[in-house]
């Protein structure tokens, strides 16, 4: 019994220490965002890595999701003669939910893992210590540019993903489900409100923040050796994905519950 209590207490304390570490890390990172020096080259490089190079994977995911969504809504709508809702539901579903969430998850898989592996490798090969000895704060040089780049580029990726997702629904709607192309487009646009689009973009910014923070945090606390880098990468992707899904629920609740 004492052993069980001790074990539970140890796990709880480890968890509290982890949460404390994460909070301190986040406070430091956000405090540094507006503090010079600004590493612009590292920022633009991160924009390319996180934003530009994620476009293909987000685009392909969104296209097929939009297509599949059109097929599902058509099949479901046919049960009560409501096939005509396909364009509007595809547009709203993509823009409000599937675009940001699937885009966020795909970027988390691609970017959080690569950030954690890169920073983790730098940690185990003493490159982070080398930065400190070269009078450069590793948080400012490695974390802040990636965080800012992710917050700015993930909403853009979500915007592009939304458009491609709606296009995917349109292509399937017109070619497979025999919708009139003009009516499909009109219905897609008419039922879409500005807030639907904006809420998705805000979600994208929050997901970008989560992705960069998780990648950097687990990279910076990486243990020695290849196993440590693997563990950091896995933890970054899993925690980013779970936090994205949780944040999505709370943001949806905040934006649309009324």
Q: Which of 191, 161, 172 is nearest to 68 (CA)?
A: 172
Rounded Cα distance, 239 and 219, in Å: 13
Reported as type and span, the H/E element at residue 164 is helix 144-175
Shortest Å distance, C-beta 47 to other proteins: 15
Sign of CA dihedral 227, 230, 234, 237: positive
Residue 32, interface with other proteins (CB under 8 A)? Answer: no
Contact 91, 166 (CB under 8 A): yes
User: Among 72, 88, 136, 252, which residue sits at the site for other proteins (rule: CB under 8 A)?
Assistant: 136
- Which of residues 88 and 127 has its CB atom nearest to other proteins in the complex? 127
- Which of residues 113 and 188 has its CB atom nearest to other proteins in the complex? 113
Residue 242 three-state SS: helix
Shortest Å distance, C-beta 218 to other proteins: 19
| Two tokens, residue 257 | 């519950």
Interface mask toward other proteins for 105-134; x: CB under 8 A:
----------------xx--xxx-xx-xxx
- Which of residues 121 and 199 has its CB atom nearest to other proteins in the complex? 121
Return residues touching other proteins (CB under 8 A): 37, 39, 121-122, 125-127, 129-130, 132-136, 141
């Amino acid at each position: 019994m004492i052993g069980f209590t001790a074990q539970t207490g140890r796990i709880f304390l480890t968890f509290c220490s982890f949460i404390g570490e994460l909070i301190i890390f986040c406070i430091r990172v956000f405090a540094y965002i507006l503090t010079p020096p600004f590493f612009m080259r590292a920022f633009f490089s991160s924009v390319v890595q996180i934003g530009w190079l994620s476009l293909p994977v987000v685009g392909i995911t969104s296209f097929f999701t939009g297509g599949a969504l059109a097929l599902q809504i058509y099949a479901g709508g046919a049960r009560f003669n409501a096939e005509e809702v396909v364009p509007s539901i595809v547009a709203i579903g993509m823009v409000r939910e599937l675009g940001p969430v699937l885009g966020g998850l795909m970027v988390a898989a691609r970017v959080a893992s690569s950030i954690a592996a890169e920073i983790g490798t730098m940690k185990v090969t003493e490159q982070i210590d080398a930065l400190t000895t070269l009078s450069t704060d590793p948080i400012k040089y490695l974390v802040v540019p990636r965080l800012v780049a992710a917050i700015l580029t993930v909403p853009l990726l979500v915007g592009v993903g939304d458009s491609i997702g709606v296009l995917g629904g349109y292509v399937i709607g017109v070619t497979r489900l025999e919708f009139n192309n003009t009516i499909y487009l009109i219905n897609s646009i008419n039922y879409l409100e500005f807030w639907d689009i904006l809420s998705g973009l805000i979600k994208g910014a929050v997901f970008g923040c989560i992705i960069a923070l998780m990648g950097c945090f687990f990279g910076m606390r990486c243990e020695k050796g290849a196993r440590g880098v693997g563990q950091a990468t896995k933890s970054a992707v899993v925690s980013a994905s779970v936090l994205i899904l949780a944040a999505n629920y709370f943001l949806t609740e905040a934006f649309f519950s009324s």
